[in-house]
Amino acid sequence: MPIDITISSIFFPWQPACWLRVSGEDAPQFLQGQFTNDLRPLSVVGAGAVYGLWLTLKGKVLADSFVLRGGGLNEFWIGSYFSPAAVIRERLESHVIADDVVVEDLTEDVAAFTVIGGDGLGSVEPPLPGEATWIFRGRRDREESREIIYRSSAGEPAWARRSAGRRVEAEEMTRRRIAARIPAVPLDIGPADLPNEGGLEAVAISYTKGCYLGQEVMARLKSMGQVRRRLLGIGGTGDTLPSVPAAVFVGSRQVGEIRSVARDGAGGWIGLAMLSLMHLSPGAELAFAADGVPAARLLDAP
């Protein structure tokens, strides 16, 4: 499978937090009834991946993942950047009653890398059925990206080792993710938060697929049209990154907390903070203590 990664590409090796194999005669219907997004597009082998969430009964975000169709009959793969395999597996198995569904954790058996940008990205195509490599569109940056998952026992593919792409560290990927306002689950959005508070309703929620766990809460949120909190971008100056999570204040009132931070490459830092929309104005100055000296400002419209 020829993949040409050019010098203008970014190349990031990483380890999935989750890589589960789900199989069994009832696997398609079972997963469709648990996942927030519509999995029917995966009815064709090689259809790519669907991104979505695994919610609690109250509609809170337990984990996120990509779901891919496997090469075998009624076989699927579930992969996540940050949500632990044990959490997703427990969530699935707790709802398997009389279903013919088997969940296997193969996270330790795989490794991965991300390719972002560059002329060679267009030649990254899905592998043939049965190949021990999985390729799908990622959610890392504003630029288009591909995730390549491979069997760690086989080592990094030879064409990847020969690539001219610029290899980067996790810090740069965090900066890119924050700049693109892409939340990490469960770091930025977790079991105390609703998908809409992280801006995930447009990319991770289907309002037409039918019932799934947490669907009633999602339907009510859609009809209400608003949430009282939102994950927003903030920024500050200085070389020292604030500890996370960190409470943030406007005057004497706590308005939320910083969830993730990264250096912005210009002598300061950027972050994602879960903030109350009721007490914010555009460009609001934020402090790390009640009535403290402002140390950050709001970058997004509340």
Domains of the chain: 10-179 (3.30.1360.120), 228-302 (2.40.30.110)
Q: Which residues pair with 296 in a beta bridge?
A: 286
DSSP calls for 107-171:
GGGEEEEEEESSGGGGG--PPPTT-SEEEEE--SSSS-EEEEEEEGGG-S-HHHHT--PEE--HH
Predicted local distance difference test score (pLDDT) of residue 2: 44
Q: Where is 216: in which H helix or E strand?
A: helix 215-224
Q: How far apart are CA 297 and CA 46, in angstroms?
A: 44
Q: How far apart are CA 141 and CA 249, in angstroms?
A: 29
Predicted local distance difference test score (pLDDT) of residue 126: 47
Contact 136, 127 (CB under 8 A): no
In this model, does residue 196 exceed pLDDT 70?
yes
Q: Which of 64-68, 80-84, 163-167 has the lowest mean pLDDT?
A: 163-167
| Residue 132 in tokens | 């021990």
User: pTM to 2 decimals?
Assistant: 0.91
Cβ contacts of 296 within 8 Å, gap of 6 or more: 234, 235, 236, 242, 248, 258, 271, 285, 286, 287
Predicted local distance difference test score (pLDDT) of residue 263: 95
How confident is residue 103, by pLDDT bands cut at 50, 70 and 90? very high
Cα 275 versus chain centre, distance: 20
Predicted local distance difference test score (pLDDT) of residue 233: 98
Predicted local distance difference test score (pLDDT) of residue 163: 64
Q: Which of 57-71, 120-134, 245-259 has the lowest mean pLDDT?
A: 120-134
Residues in the chain: 302
Predicted local distance difference test score (pLDDT) of residue 69: 93
Average pLDDT on 252-270 reads 94
In this model, does residue 122 exceed pLDDT 60?
no
In this model, does residue 262 exceed pLDDT 50?
yes
DSSP calls for 50-67:
EEEEEE-TTS-EEEEEEE
Predicted local distance difference test score (pLDDT) of residue 8: 66
Predicted local distance difference test score (pLDDT) of residue 261: 97
Q: How far apart are CA 291 and CA 252, in angstroms?
A: 5
In this model, does residue 285 exceed pLDDT 90?
yes
What is the pLDDT of the chain when averaged over all its residues?
A: 89
Q: Which of 2-16, 120-134, 142-156, 233-247 has the lowest mean pLDDT?
A: 120-134
Predicted local distance difference test score (pLDDT) of residue 120: 47
In this model, does residue 29 exceed pLDDT 60?
yes
Predicted local distance difference test score (pLDDT) of residue 128: 43
Average pLDDT on 75-90 reads 97
In this model, does residue 249 exceed pLDDT 50?
yes
- Unique residue bearing structure tokens 């009510």: 220
Strands 253-263 and 246-250: antiparallel
Predicted local distance difference test score (pLDDT) of residue 239: 83
CA proximity to 83, closest of 35, 17, 148, 137: 17
Instruction: Tell me the chain's radius of gyration from C-alpha atoms.
Output: 20
In this model, does residue 48 exceed pLDDT 70?
yes
| Residue 234 in tokens | 């903030």
Average pLDDT on 89-104 reads 96
Higher model confidence: residue 7 or residue 99? 99
In this model, does residue 6 exceed pLDDT 80?
no
Average pLDDT on 197-224 reads 93
Average pLDDT on 8-24 reads 93
3-state percent helix, strand, coil for the chain, nearest multiple of 5: 20, 35, 45
pLDDT > 70 in the chain, percent: 89
